């Protein structure tokens, strides 16, 4: 896209779908949302939908692998794969592709609209909540590396990376606190990178896989609930206890970035 839109960062070769989106995507989004084509909402969602919906189609259509090297497992349920499964089987007596094409239009169209609805009504509003939490992070912990969100389920990860860049934070955020639906609290590590399964600061190795009393005794923090086997998330019965877990993790991990 960058060759046609120098203001955009993506260099993946465009498919026909990407070419249409490049030229008409903002106009389509503006019409669907009832927003100005050059307004901040359409601009943000145009980029988000390209990066998280259209670019994958471009890459698949042009035979571009998502990463270098041998994949560890097969990705067989991508949007492109599901569209491909709508074609007639090679040995079907009837080879009419028109019915499959209509089903593909319905499939892709509905997923595009669902994704747009999520990003518009859930992902975009979350930015303000995360930004407020970032600005108040020193009220949570003096390190400035612990973020507290007022509710769980908020899609915070991508906003954290973007706000770190925009606000030029002096130290990277490491851990995020938030309540779960049951009234308990979670402490979760910030990923090492967007879409990564690696954590910047996983919870201490000795805690991983433990629960309840065994975990509380080892950590020296009463009320612990669990720590995931990979260390990316843990739980406590209270906000104060979850904050203690975060502070202890910072102490043991040195508060430095870990990949």
Q: The dihedral of CA 173, 175, 180, 184: what is its sign?
A: negative
Same domain, 122 and 166: no
pLDDT for position 255: 41
Question: Beta strand pairing status for 146-148 and 224-227?
Answer: unpaired
Buried b (16+ CB within 10 A) or exposed e, 131-147: bebbeebeebbebbbbb
pLDDT for position 232: 96
Helix (H, G, I), strand (E, B) or coil at 11: coil
Residues, the chain: 259
List Cβ<8 Å contacts ≥24 apart for 207-210.
207/231, 207/234
In the predicted model, what is the mean pLDDT of the chain? 93
DSSP label at residue 78: S
Same domain, 233 and 149: yes
pLDDT tens sequence across 58-81? 999 999 988 888 888 888 899 999
Measured between alpha carbons, how far is 134 from 112 in angstroms, rounded to an integer?
Answer: 31
pLDDT tens sequence across 133-168? 999 999 999 999 999 999 888 999 999 999 999 999
Higher pLDDT, 233 or 254: 233
pLDDT for position 66: 84
Residues 6+ apart with CB under 8 A from 18: 1, 12, 50, 54, 55, 57, 58, 61
- Phi/psi of residue 18, each to 5°? -65, -35
pLDDT for position 195: 85
Domain end marker among 75, 97, 126: 126
Q: Alpha helices of 6-123 — where are they, by DSSP H?
A: 16-33, 40-49, 55-61, 79-84, 98-118
pLDDT tens sequence across 190-238? 999 988 899 999 999 999 999 999 999 999 999 999 999 999 999 999 9
pLDDT tens sequence across 88-105? 999 999 998 999 999 999
Same domain, 249 and 157: yes
Which residue range(s) make up the domain with 211?
136-253
pLDDT for position 69: 86
- In angstroms, what CA-CA distances link 217 with 122, 191, 221, 223, 250? 39, 27, 7, 9, 19
In a domain, 9, yes or no: no
Same domain, 104 and 147: no
Same domain, 30 and 109: yes
Question: Beta strand pairing status for 146-148 and 175-179?
Answer: parallel
Name the burial class of residue 224, with classes exposed (0-12), middle (13-18) and buried (19+) by CB atoms within 10 angstroms of its CB: buried
The domain total for the chain is 2
């Amino acid at each position: 896209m960058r060759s046609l839109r120098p203001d955009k960062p993506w260099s993946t070769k465009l498919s026909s779908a990407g070419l249409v989106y490049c030229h008409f995507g903002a106009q389509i989004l503006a019409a669907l949302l009832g927003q100005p084509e050059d307004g901040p909402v359409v601009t943000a969602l145009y980029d988000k939908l390209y990066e998280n919906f259209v670019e994958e189609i471009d890459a698949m259509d042009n035979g571009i692998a998502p990463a270098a090297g041998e994949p560890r497992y097969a990705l067989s349920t991508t949007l492109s794969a599901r569209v491909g499964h709508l074609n007639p089987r090679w040995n079907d007596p009837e080879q009419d592709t028109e019915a499959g094409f209509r089903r593909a239009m319905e499939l892709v169209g509905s997923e595009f609209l669902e994704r747009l609805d999520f990003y518009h009504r859930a992902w975009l509003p979350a930015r303000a909540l995360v930004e407020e939490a970032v600005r108040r992070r020193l009220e949570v912990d003096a390190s400035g590396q612990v973020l507290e969100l007022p509710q769980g389920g908020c899609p915070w990860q991508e906003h954290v990376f973007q706000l770190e860049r925009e606000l030029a934070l002096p130290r990277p955020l490491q851990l995020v606190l938030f309540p779960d639906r049951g009234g308990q609290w979670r402490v979760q590590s910030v990923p090492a990178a967007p879409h990564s399964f690696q954590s910047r600061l996983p919870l201490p190795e000795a805690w991983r896989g433990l629960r309840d009393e065994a975990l509380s005794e080892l950590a020296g923090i009463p009320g612990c609930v669990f720590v995931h086997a990979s260390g990316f998330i843990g739980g406590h019965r209270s906000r104060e206890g979850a904050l203690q877990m975060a502070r202890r993790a910072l102490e043991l991990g040195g508060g430095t970035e870990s990949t």
